[in-house]
A and B are shown apart, each in its own frame.
Chain A
Amino acid sequence: NFVLTQPHSVSASPGKTVTISCARSSGSIANNFVQWYQQRPDSSPTTVIYEDDRRPSGVPERFSGSIDSSSNSASLTISGLKTEDEADYYCQSYDSIVVFGGGTKLTVL
């Protein structure tokens, strides 16, 4: 089974762009879709990106997802940062079992 590794924390100022990475330890990142969840304090997670780069209805276009086979990783990019984007973000994938990354705390300074 594989592991998804995320940075522990990232920070950026309002209006800026931030990218959160999710590196897959073994097997190709392109083999299985990646999801990204946002979890605000004391709330349940919600999907912001599914199937690598698709946005659920209601999620702003400021959120985008991508995968990079050369680095075997997925990325979540949030542009035009708002204070309300401050949250924990988790990547997740599936290869007969579900795997979550360790989560990244986004601070909007």
Chain B
Amino acid sequence: QITLKESGPTLVKPTQTLTLTCTFSGFSLASSGVGVGWIRQPPGKALEWLALIYWDDDVRYSPSLRNRLTITKDISKNQVVLSVTNVDPVDSGRYFCAHKDVTSVSNFDYWGQGTLVTVSS
């Protein structure tokens, strides 16, 4: 059974760096075809894809946020970490991590419950 859970601070000050951790079980990021992505959702707004990391260390970033994002993986801990630098109130929202279906190019078939982040001074 695949599960994912996001963790991190609930409140971050503007200009700080936000670091979120996705801890998962039921699969390994060392296995061919596996990927984990981060998606966020401001309150009452649409889903926005942020980043994706694959088993082979290939990483992809949203073009609009590329210079502020870093995604890494720790296979031994079954974790994926997302860092967002220089945060602003518009970065507030729920942040989800999701497992990319191994048999599909881009279907996210399992999602975490999300973690709510507020950026405010």
Shortest Cβ distance from A90 into chain B, in angstroms?
A: 5
Max chain B Cβ within 10 angstroms of own Cβ: one of A46, A51, A97, A103: A97
For A102, the closest partner residue in chain B by CB is B46
> Is there a chain B Cβ closer than 8 Å to A44's Cβ?
yes
Cβ proximity bits B42-68 to A, threshold 8 Å, 1 near / 0 not: 000011110010000000111100000
Q: Which of B47, B60, B105 sits near A100, CB closer than 8 Å?
A: B47
Could you count the A-B residue pairs with CB atoms below 8 Å apart for me: how many are there? 65
Contact-residue size bin, chain B (C-beta under 8 Å from the other chain): 20 to 34
In the complex, residue of chain B having the shortest beta-carbon distance to the beta carbon of A33: B105
A21 at the interface (CB under 8 A from B): no
User: In the bound complex, do residue A45 and residue B109 qualify as a contact, i.e. CB atoms below 8 Å apart?
Assistant: no
Instruction: Tell me whether A60 is interfacial, beta carbon within 8 Å.
Output: no
Residues of B within 8 Å of A75, CB to CB, are: none
If A51-B104, A90-B46, A97-B49 touch, whether A44 touches B113 (CB-CB below 8 Å) is yes
Known: A47-B108, A47-B109. Contact between A97 and B63, CB under 8 A? Answer: yes
- Would you call B111 an interface residue if the criterion is a C-beta within 8 Å of the partner chain's C-beta atoms? yes
Listed in ascending order, the chain A residues whose CB lies under 8 Å from chain B are 1, 32-33, 35, 37, 39, 44-47, 50-51, 56, 90, 92-94, 96-103
> Which 6 pairs between the two chains have the least Cβ-Cβ distance?
A94-B106, A98-B49, A44-B111, A50-B107, A103-B46, A100-B47
Interface residues of B (CB under 8 A from A): 37, 39, 46-49, 52, 60-63, 96, 101, 104-109, 111-114
